[in-house]
């Protein structure tokens, strides 16, 4: 499937670095910042790509300083963004190849509907990161907002593949209507992790704000930290010594709950036994 | 002196249309059939009003001509990179249509008060759907009425007498007799308590009412009202049964009910502070009724869980339809917030938080809703119509709102008009200007013009049309 | 031949030197399209729009200097609806379902739908006044009340949906067949249909009763459709239609369950071919993700149970109900593919094109923007075969289409997409290009003398998708599929003049507060409410 031109590009690594020229106040919509869009374009065309700042149409070069480097490497094309782009939305939207590295904070809708390639953020990411994602990897070193890997309003088509890794904390309704794929949060997570989940895996190393797995139909949620309570529509199934997440074995022991029974669901919620002594009353049902 | 009948009341979502006004000359001197809020509006509306257009010069608001005000407002909006147009719930649909055209022309974000009220309900409807009806269906048929996280006694005073417990329907009778006997019991209990306090000169607290079993009246074949709330409100006192839910636990309670109405058992002994045996009895009542209705208010949309509380309530209603007929309706606050949603939706496809900045409507509450937008300090100008956000918004949002150029269209002097850069005095819709508005159940009704407004106070629709016209002129001159 | 237009009408001739000339040589000229049944405005349509933001965000219309912005796909916003119809050469559309209590809403939305003339039908089949009067045999009183309602709601025709079923749905029930009595009202659907058919005649309404049958969407319901058509046979006047069965595909199912479901189109076509009192429209299904919305509350609840999709229900006091459920028609589903086949079978087996019209019951079967696709299937056996090869094997084996050779000619297409519909609606100035007709003209860039529609159906489809010219009221509004002049059309409504208006008002006024939760004086829509009303005066015999 690789065409001669891309093979050529593989030998000469296309590396574009974008430096925001100033701080942004009104939202900037930058779905043009994507390896798919930059592919096979000379820099002067990339500079003229259309980008929105509020209700004004701008060119990419109006808002970003663009530096172009060609290095010999076996890596695919990379876009680097250096600076605070927390107001810049839709970076990497619909991308299917290549890499984006954000050295700073990234805005909403990062990697939305992504179909391949990878995005790395050294700072924080905002809400709707990886929403409706189909494939690829997003890694956020800092915190992330709400609705990670979620669907659009009214739709039940959330993330259907790929991986999202958040090293910091994540917000509310992470994995809403998720269908497949993996979300890993090393820090804490807000309420309603995995709400309306159809399938997939959410792994939380830290604490959960509560109501994890609400209205889930299937899938797996693992909470290694503290959770204040379990929803009354979940029932305790077993105590497991370990649980498997993406090929890795996580040490327990875990209470395994099944639910959400109100929705006829058969999802599995694993909750750390040692971090949640207040849940020991459930053991009487085993 | 004339009596005008069939007047629609421009205050709350109950939107009573049977008000009678006595008018002498150009003044309303008496109001009949309205509740305290409606009477207050009809009699006192002119007390704190603005009569002249104002423009801020050197930090002070000074009187200006309408043309000068229009010119300044149009320039503010045409220059803005991300303006917001907010309010809309207290004006007519005709004005809202112009507002949408203006928002599209200036490429801004237009939002109505749903964003601070039943926006979460709308978000959940978009995920689940909603089994609802017009209010007459309930007057005729409902024998089980739930007011969940809503206190109509205070917020929608005539709701119960017009549409539910005290109304007469084809298939259901009014339940006022039962209410009177209950009221007598409640009042005599209160009197005894007061007497005890006076005699003993210390505070004798009311015995906590732990009703472990439903009262007999709940099993009779008649209209019944159940109130679910975190504290015993006036509406709860009038109810056949009061279910006290632990604050922020409505989600758990609603989800639990979904299993109980399917005769499934729960693993736990209590949910939201209520023993499961009580919940099982309530579930039986729900399933055994002829037609039940959940009315719900901000207690669900604004407590922890927000839209997911409503999600669970909508799902519970849907599940109940397998066993009996059950419906649900949000208690909308302003008299035309439903109309604002309706007009936004037919023109743009989306009910609120509509972003026109890229030349076509986009919608994502949390991103395009004004509170969130203002918190992130993204707006750079605003037009406020028929609303008072400086008084009602969270402080951070209000602070970020007033630091930008602000245009206010309002009949009255409010904290928002006092902070504005351009102020347009407008006519009171439903009293001085006619139009159309939508009741909480989506029934459209006409707003009447009863008296003439002062000459300097134009209807909202006209003010907006002038601003739109001027904006287009400015744009044409630019290109 | 030349068509001359002056002052918005088609005339004998004009001064060629002073006139604007459009050279349509090598193209097809037709009257502007007329759509007899498409849900585009009102409470139920708008609830559908609100329900489905996910249907909108991928199909947007950007604002231009001439046009307003908007969204699609299956339930477009109002401006987009008008523009998209106009781009296909349509100039008149009929909104078929209006709950009378919320009539204001329907008209507000129609007023915001540009480019086309429009009208709407109030839902009267379950109105308490109708049920009570017909039960008591008071046809005259019923007719007087219906006449009042037509004026009050600015309606065009009597719409009946699942007669009796909607009142039963008030308590969560339904009616099973034409003789199943409505709970609490002691009247049967048959009596409602016959009664309103008589009322329609007494009022001299331009259109017949417009009926969505009982038992919609249930295997075996073709029998209900036949019974519905038969039950008013004796009431028909010589050669004139007495009933219009709408979206007939949905009530042409044979079989006893979904496994055995098959097409009843043959039986229905046979009946229609031998009887002149019936007109139908197709209700064609397209394989896509669309939204179902009808006034048939119980049917829509059934669809929710079938699919598990989100479900909106809205019962209207004293009058009617409605329901909305998103629905995806899948090629590989035997049932959906059979439905697709049924619509086309009906159109092809019914010999007289003046009896069956092309619709999708937008958006129930699919969005109206799919009309060119349906035209392709109607004119080309090859087009049908191509789609047939992709559908479920079981449906393909059961389908009658392989045995049908008929291909509609361009002339017949003109009938099923405009002339026939205008005639059924009795809109004398629409659907034809004779002298005196409204100057609503569509020009499509396909040469009937050079192009064989049977083989070059793709060319035809493309031509009908973007009209070369659309002329509305004598003005060029669309050129090459682009809006060049935004205009607003008129709203038709039937102004029935009864012999005794006052009595009806008194009776209604007294009962109003008992029946509705609004005041009598706030219910009727004043004449000034509509932006461009076009009342059609009609003298009733009552």
B353 pLDDT above the threshold of 60: yes
- Amino acid B458: pLDDT: 97
Across the interface, whether the CB atoms of A155 and C51 are under 8 A apart is answered: no
Q: What is the mean pLDDT of residues B359-384?
A: 97
Do the chains contact at A25 and B380, CB–CB below 8 Å? yes
CA neighbor of B333 nearest in space, from B37, B36, B32, B74: B37
How many residues are there in chain B? 479
Mutation choice for B interface testing from A55, A195, A213 by most B CBs within 10 A: A55
Q: What is the pLDDT of residue A73?
A: 53
C52–A152 C-beta distance less than 8 A: no
Instruction: Report pLDDT digits (tens) over A192-212.
Output: 999 999 999 999 999 999 999
* Lowest-pLDDT range of B17-31, B180-194, B353-367: B180-194
* B363 burial type by CB count under 10 A (0-12 exposed, 13-18 middle, 19+ buried): buried
Chain-chain contact of A196 with B255 (C-beta, under 8 angstroms): no
Q: Please tell me the CATH code under which domain B48-116+335-431+449-478 is placed.
A: 3.40.50.740
Interface test with B, best of C322, C518, C520, C521 (most B CBs within 10 A): C518
Taking CB atoms and an 8 Å cutoff, what residues of chain C touch B140? Answer: 170, 317-318
Q: Do B127 and A196 touch (CB under 8 A)?
A: yes
Calpha distance C116→C430 (Å, rounded)? 12
Q: How many angstroms separate the CA of residue B109 from the nearest CA in chain A?
A: 10
Residues of chain C with pLDDT > 70, as a percent, come to 100
| Residues whose CB is less than 8 angstroms from the CB of residue B202 and which lie 6 or more positions away in sequence, other chains included | none
Which pLDDT value is given to residue A11? 43
Q: Please report residues of B whose CB lies closer than 8 A to that of A285.
A: 267
| Segment B5-19 mean pLDDT | 96
**Cβ <8 Å between C517 and B135:** yes
How much is the pLDDT for B183?
83
Residue A57 in contact with partner chain C when CB distance is under 8 A: no
> Residue A4 above 60 pLDDT?
no
Work out the number of other CB atoms within 10 angstroms of the CB of residue B188. Answer: 10
Q: Per-residue pLDDT for A12 more than 50? A: no
Which residue among C314, C514, C520 places its CB closest to the CB of B133? C314
- ipTM, two decimals: 0.96
Distance from CA of B207 to the nearest CA of C (A): 41
The pLDDT assigned to A1 comes to 44
pLDDT at B207: 66
Using a CB-CB cut-off of 8 Å, the residues of chain C touching A29 are: none
Answer whether C70 sits within 8 Å of B360, measured CB to CB.
Answer: yes
pLDDT at C510: 86
**Do the chains contact at A153 and C51, CB–CB below 8 Å?**
no
Quick check: B81 and A27 CB within 8 A? Answer: no
Find which of B3, B8, B129 to mutate to test the C interface (most C CBs within 10 Å of its CB): B129
Of B308, B358, B376, the CB nearest to A214: B308
Contacts of B122 in chain C (CB under 8 A): 50
Closest-CA residue of chain A to B272? A232
Helix (H), strand (E) at residue C89: none
- What is the per-residue pLDDT across A116-158, written as a single tens digit (0 to 9) for each? 999 999 999 999 999 999 999 999 999 999 999 999 999 999 9
Contact C281, C358 (CB under 8 A): yes
Nearest residue in chain C measured CA to CA from A132: C54
What residues of chain B lie within 8 A of the CB of A234, using their CB? 267
C239: confidence class by pLDDT, cuts 50, 70, 90: confident
Which chains does chain A touch, 3 or more C-beta pairs < 8 A?
A: B, C
Cα distance between residue C514 and residue B170, in whole Å: 8
Closest residue by Cα to residue B251 from B315, B295, B294: B315
Q: Check if the beta carbon of residue A148 is closer than 8 Å to that of residue A166.
A: yes
**For the segment A65-76, what is each residue's pLDDT rounded down to a tens digit?**
999 887 655 556
pLDDT tens across C267-314, in order? 999 999 999 999 999 999 999 999 999 999 999 999 999 999 999 999
Location of structure tokens 């379950």: C126
pLDDT digits (tens, 9 = 90+) for C360-378: 999 999 999 999 999 999 9
pLDDT at C498: 85
Measured between alpha carbons, how far is B297 from B313 in angstroms, rounded to an integer? Answer: 11
Q: How many CB pairs under 8 A join A and B?
A: 99
Q: Is the pLDDT of residue B97 over 70?
A: yes
The percentage of residues in chain B with a pLDDT greater than 70, rounded to a whole number, is 98
H helices present in C75-208, as ranges: 78-87, 103-111, 128-135, 139-153, 165-169, 189-202
Q: Which residues of B touch A (CB under 8 A)?
A: 80-82, 106-108, 123, 126-127, 251-252, 255-256, 258-259, 264, 266-268, 271, 304-305, 308, 311-312, 315, 356-358, 363-367, 376-380
Summarize pLDDT for B107-128 with one digit per residue, the tens.
Answer: 999 999 999 999 999 999 999 9
With an 8 Å Cβ cutoff, are A232 and B81 in contact? no
**Domain boundaries defined on chain B:** 48-116+335-431+449-478, 119-330
Q: Are A63 and A28 in contact (CB under 8 A)?
A: yes
| B327–C78 C-beta distance less than 8 A | no
Q: What is the mean pLDDT of chain C?
A: 96
Interface probe, candidates C53, C100, C528, chain B, greatest B C-beta count within 10 A: C53
**From B132-136, B179-183, B205-209, C230-234, the region with the lowest mean pLDDT:** B205-209
| Chains linked to B by 3 or more Cβ pairs within 8 Å | A, C
Strand extents, DSSP E, B193-339: 224-229, 241-244, 270-271, 274-275, 291-296, 325-330
Q: What is the band of C507 on the pLDDT scale with cuts at 50, 70, 90?
A: confident
Residues of C in contact with B126 (CB under 8 A): 50-53, 310
Quick check: B350 and C311 CB within 8 A?
no
Do the Cβ atoms of A285 and B258 come within 8 Å? no
Provide, rounded to the nearest whole percent, the portion of chain A with pLDDT above 90.
89
Q: Which residue of B has its CA nearest to A257?
A: B267
Q: Given a cut of 80, is residue B211 above it in pLDDT?
A: no
Of the partner residues C61, C314, C517, the one whose CB lies closest to the CB of residue B136: C517
pLDDT at B119: 96
- 3-state class (DSSP) for residue C341: helix
Contacts of A55 in chain B (CB under 8 A): 80-82, 106-108, 356-358
Instruction: Compute the average pLDDT of residues B176-186.
Output: 84
Is the pLDDT reported for residue C64 higher than 60? yes
C184: confidence class by pLDDT, cuts 50, 70, 90:
very high
To the nearest whole Å, the CA of C45 is away from the closest chain A CA by 16
**CATH topology classification for B119-330:** Dimethylsulfoxide Reductase; domain 2 (3.40.228)
Q: Can you give the C-alpha Rg of chain A in angstroms?
A: 21
- Which positions in chain B touch C60 (Cβ < 8 Å)? 360-361
Chain C hits for A155, CB-CB cut-off 8 Å, are 53-54
Q: Are A149 and A174 in contact (CB under 8 A)?
A: yes
- How far is residue C203's CA from residue C433's CA, in Å, rounded to a whole number? 29
Sorted by where each begins, the domain ranges of chain C are: 90-101+114-428+480-492
Nearest residue in chain C measured CA to CA from B4: C521
Give residue B113's region: left, alpha or beta (phi > 0; psi -120 to 50). alpha
Residue A237 has a pLDDT of 95
Asked whether the bond before A260 is cis by omega within 30 degrees of 0, the reply is: yes
The answer to whether B48-116+335-431+449-478 and B119-330 have equal CATH topology is no
Q: Predicted confidence band at B479 (pLDDT cuts at 50, 70, 90)?
A: low
Confidence of residue B153 (pLDDT cuts 50, 70, 90): very high
Task: Answer yes or no: do C102 and B442 touch at CB < 8 A.
Answer: yes
**Cβ contact, residue pair B365, A153, below 8 Å:** yes
pLDDT-based confidence at A64, cuts 50/70/90? very high
Which residues in chain C are closer than 8 Å to A153, comparing Cβ atoms?
53-54
CA distance C62 to C69: 5
């Amino acid at each position: 499937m690789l065409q001669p031109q891309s093979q050529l590009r593989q030998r000469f690594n296309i590396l574009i670095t974008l430096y925001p020229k100033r701080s942004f106040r009104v939202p900037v919509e930058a779905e043009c910042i994507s390896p798919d869009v930059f592919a096979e374009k000379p820099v002067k065309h990339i500079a003229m790509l259309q980008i929105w700042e509020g209700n004004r149409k701008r060119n990419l070069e109006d808002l970003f300083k663009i530096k172009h480097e060609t290095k010999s490497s076996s890596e695919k094309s990379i876009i680097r963004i250096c600076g605070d782009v927390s107001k810049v939305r839709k970076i990497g939207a619909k991308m299917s190849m290549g890499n984006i590295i954000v050295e700073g904070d990234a805005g909403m809708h990062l990697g939305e509907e992504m179909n391949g390639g990878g995005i790395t953020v050294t700072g924080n990411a905002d809400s709707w990161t990886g929403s409706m994602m189909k494939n690829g990897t997003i890694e956020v070193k800092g915190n992330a907002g709400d609705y990670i890997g979620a669907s659009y309003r009214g739709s039940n088509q959330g993330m259907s593949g790929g991986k999202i890794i958040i090293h910091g904390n994540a917000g509310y309704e992470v994995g809403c209507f998720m269908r497949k794929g993996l979300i890993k949060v090393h820090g804490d997570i807000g309420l309603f992790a995995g709400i309306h989940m159809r399938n997939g895996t959410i792994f939380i190393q830290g604490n959960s704000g509560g109501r994890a797995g609400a209205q889930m139909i299937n899938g797996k949620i693992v909470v290694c930290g503290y959770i204040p309570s379990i929803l009354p529509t979940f029932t305790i199934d077993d105590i497991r010594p370990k649980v498997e997440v993406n090929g890795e074995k996580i040490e327990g022991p875990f209470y395994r709950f099944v639910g959400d029974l109100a929705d006829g669901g058969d999802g599995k919620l694993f909750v750390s036994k040692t971090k949640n002594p207040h849940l020991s009353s459930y053991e009487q049902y085993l | 002196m004339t009596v005008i009948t069939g007047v629609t009341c421009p205050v709350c979502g109950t939107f009573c249309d049977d008000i009678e006004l006595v008018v002498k000359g150009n003044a309303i001197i008496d109001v009949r059939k309205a509740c305290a809020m409606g009477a207050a509006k009809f009699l006192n509306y002119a007390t704190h009003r603005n009569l002249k257009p104002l423009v801020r010069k050197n930090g002070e608001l000074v009187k200006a001509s309408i043309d000068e005000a229009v010119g300044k407002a149009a320039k503010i909006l045409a220059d803005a990179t991300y303006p917001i147009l907010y309010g809309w719930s207290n004006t007519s649909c005709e004005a809202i249509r112009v507002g949408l055209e203006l928002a599209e022309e200036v490429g801004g974000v237009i939002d109505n008060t749903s964003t601070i009220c039943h926006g979460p309900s709308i978000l959940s409807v978009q995920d689940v759907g909603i089994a609802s009806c017009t209010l007459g269906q309930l007057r005729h048929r409902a024998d089980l009425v739930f007011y969940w996280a809503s206190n109509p006694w205070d917020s929608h005073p005539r709701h119960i007498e017009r549409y539910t417990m005290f109304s007469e329907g084809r298939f259901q009778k009014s339940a006022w007799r039962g209410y009177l006997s209950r009221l007598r019991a409640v009042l005599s209990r209160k009197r005894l308590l007061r007497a005890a306090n006076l005699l003993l000169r210390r505070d004798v607290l009311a015995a906590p009412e732990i009703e472990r079993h439903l009262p007999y009246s709940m099993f009779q074949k008649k209209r019944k009202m159940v109130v679910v709330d975190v504290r015993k409100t006036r509406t709860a006192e009038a109810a056949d049964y009061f279910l006290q839910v632990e604050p922020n636990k409505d989600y758990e309670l609603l989800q639990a009910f979904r299993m109980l109405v399917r005769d499934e058992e729960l693993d736990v002994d209590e949910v939201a502070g209520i023993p499961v045996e009580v919940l099982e009895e309530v579930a039986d009542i729900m399933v055994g009724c002829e037609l039940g209705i959940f009315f719900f208010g901000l207690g669900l949309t604004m407590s922890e869980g927000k839209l997911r509380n409503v999600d669970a309530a909508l799902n519970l209603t849907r599940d109940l339809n397998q066993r009996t007929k059950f419906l649900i309706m949000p208690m909308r606050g302003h008299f035309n917030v439903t109309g604002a949603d309706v007009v936004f939706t037919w023109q743009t496809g989306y009910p609120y938080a509509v972003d026109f900045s890229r030349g076509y409507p986009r919608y994502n509450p949390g991103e395009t809703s004004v509170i969130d937008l203002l918190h992130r300090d993204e707006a750079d100008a605003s037009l406020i119509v028929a609303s008072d956000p400086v008084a009602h918004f969270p402080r951070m949002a209000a602070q970020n709102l007033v630091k930008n150029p602000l245009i206010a269209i309002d009949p009255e002097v409010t904290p928002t008009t006092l902070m504005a850069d351009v102020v347009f005095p407008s006519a009171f819709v439903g009293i001085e200007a006619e139009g159309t508005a939508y009741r909480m159940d989506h029934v459209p009704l006409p707003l009447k013009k009863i008296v003439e407004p002062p000459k300097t106070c134009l209807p909202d629709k006209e003010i907006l049309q002038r601003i739109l016209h001027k904006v287009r002129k400015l744009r044409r001159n630019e290109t | 031949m030349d068509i001359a237009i002056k002052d918005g009408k088609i005339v004998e001739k004009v001064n060629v030197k002073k006139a604007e000339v459009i050279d349509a040589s090598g193209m097809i000229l037709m009257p502007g399209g007329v759509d007899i049944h498409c849900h585009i405005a009102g409470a139920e349509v708008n609830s559908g729009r609100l329900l489905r933001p996910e249907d909108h965000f991928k199909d947007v219309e950007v604002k231009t200097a001439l046009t307003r912005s908007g969204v699609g796909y299956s339930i477009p916003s109002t401006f987009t609806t008008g523009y998209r119809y106009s781009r296909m050469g349509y100039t008149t559309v009929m909104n078929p379902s209006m709950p009378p209590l919320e009539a204001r809403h329907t008209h507000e939305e129609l007023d915001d739908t540009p480019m086309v003339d429009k009208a709407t039908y109030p839902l009267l089949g379950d109105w308490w006044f109708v049920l009570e009067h017909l039960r008591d045999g008071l046809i005259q009183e019923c007719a007087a009340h219906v006449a009042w309602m037509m004026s009050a709601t600015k309606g065009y025709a009597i719409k009946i949906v699942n007669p009796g079923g909607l009142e039963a749905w008030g308590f969560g029930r339904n009616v099973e067949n034409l003789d199943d009595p409505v709970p609490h009202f002691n009247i049967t659907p048959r009596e409602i249909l016959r009664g309103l058919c008589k009322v329609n005649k007494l009022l001299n309404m331009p259109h017949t009763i417009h009926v969505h049958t009982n038992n919609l969407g249930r295997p075996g319901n073709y029998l209900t459709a036949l019974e519905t058509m038969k039950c008013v046979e004796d009431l028909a006047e010589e050669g004139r239609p007495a009933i219009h069965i709408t979206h007939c595909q949905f009530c042409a199912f044979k079989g006893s369950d979904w496994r055995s479901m098959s097409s009843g189109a043959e039986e229905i076509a046979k009946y229609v071919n031998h009887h002149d009192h019936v007109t139908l429209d197709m209700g064609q299904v397209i394989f896509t993700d669309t939204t179902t919305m009808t006034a048939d509350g119980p049917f829509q609840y059934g669809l929710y149970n079938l699919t598990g999709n989100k479900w909106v229900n809205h019962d209207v006091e004293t009058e009617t109900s409605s329901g909305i459920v998103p629905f995806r028609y899948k090629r590989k589903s035997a049932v959906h593919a059979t439905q697709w086949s049924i619509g086309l079978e009906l159109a092809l087996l019914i010999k007289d094109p003046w009896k069956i019209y092309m619709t999708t019951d937008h958006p129930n079967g699919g969005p109206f923007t799919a009309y060119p696709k349906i035209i392709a299937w109607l004119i080309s056996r090859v087009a049908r075969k191509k789609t047939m090869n992709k559908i479920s094997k079981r449906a393909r084996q059961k389908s009658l289409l392989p045995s049908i050779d008929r291909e509609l000619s361009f002339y017949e297409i003109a009938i099923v997409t405009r002339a026939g519909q205008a005639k059924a609606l009795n809109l004398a100035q629409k659907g034809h290009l004779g002298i005196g007709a409204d100057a609503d003209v569509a020009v499509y860039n396909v040469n009937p003398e050079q192009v064989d529609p049977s083989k070059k159906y793709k060319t035809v489809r493309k031509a009908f998708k973007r009209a070369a010219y659309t002329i509305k009221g004598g003005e060029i509004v669309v050129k090459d599929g682009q809006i060049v002049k935004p205009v607003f059309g008129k709203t038709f409504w039937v102004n029935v003049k009864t012999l005794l208006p006052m009595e009806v008002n008194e009776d209604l006024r007294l009962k109003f507060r008992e029946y509705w939760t609004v005041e009598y004086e706030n219910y009727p829509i004043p004449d000034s409410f509509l932006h461009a009303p076009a009342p059609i005066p009609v003298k009733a015999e009552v």
